[in-house]
C-alpha cells in the first residue's frame, strides 16, 4: 500500500520481495525490467549515429565494388558498435 501511495520502495530487498508485481509496472513504464545505465553527456547520440552512418556508407560502397572481405569486416564493426550501444 505504501508503494501505491508514495511510489517508492522501502529498501533494496523490496525489489526481490515484490518482483512479480513490479515487473509488469517497470515493463510498462520503462519498456524494460533491467537497468542499462546512462549515456555519458560528453558522448552525444549524434556522434554515435554519425559513426554508424559512416560505417554503413562504407559498407554499401564495399558491396557495390564487390570488396566482400572489406564488407564483412565493416559488417562486423557495425554489429559490434550496435551491440555495445545496446549494452551500455
Whether 50 and 31 share a structural domain: no
Whether 53 and 24 share a structural domain: no
- Give, as one character, the DSSP assignment of residue 33: S
Q: Which residue has the cell 562504407?
A: 58
Percentage with pLDDT > 90 across the chain: 28
Instruction: Answer yes or no: are the C-beta atoms of 9 and 15 closer than 8 Å.
Output: yes
Whether 50 and 80 share a structural domain: yes
Residue 82 is part of which domain span? 45-87
Q: Give the mean model confidence (pLDDT) for residues 54-66.
A: 93
Indicate the number of domains in the chain. 2
Q: Give the mean model confidence (pLDDT) for residues 32-38.
A: 73
Amino acid at each position: 500500500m505504501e508503494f501505491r501511495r508514495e511510489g517508492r520502495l522501502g529498501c533494496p530487498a523490496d525489489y526481490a520481495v515484490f518482483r512479480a508485481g513490479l515487473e509488469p509496472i517497470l515493463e510498462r513504464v520503462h519498456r524494460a525490467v533491467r537497468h542499462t545505465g546512462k549515456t555519458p553527456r560528453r558522448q552525444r547520440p549524434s556522434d554515435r549515429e554519425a559513426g554508424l552512418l559512416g560505417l554503413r556508407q562504407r559498407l554499401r560502397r564495399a558491396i557495390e565494388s564487390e570488396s566482400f572481405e572489406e564488407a564483412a569486416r565493416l559488417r562486423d564493426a557495425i554489429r559490434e558498435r550496435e551491440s555495445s550501444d545496446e549494452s551500455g
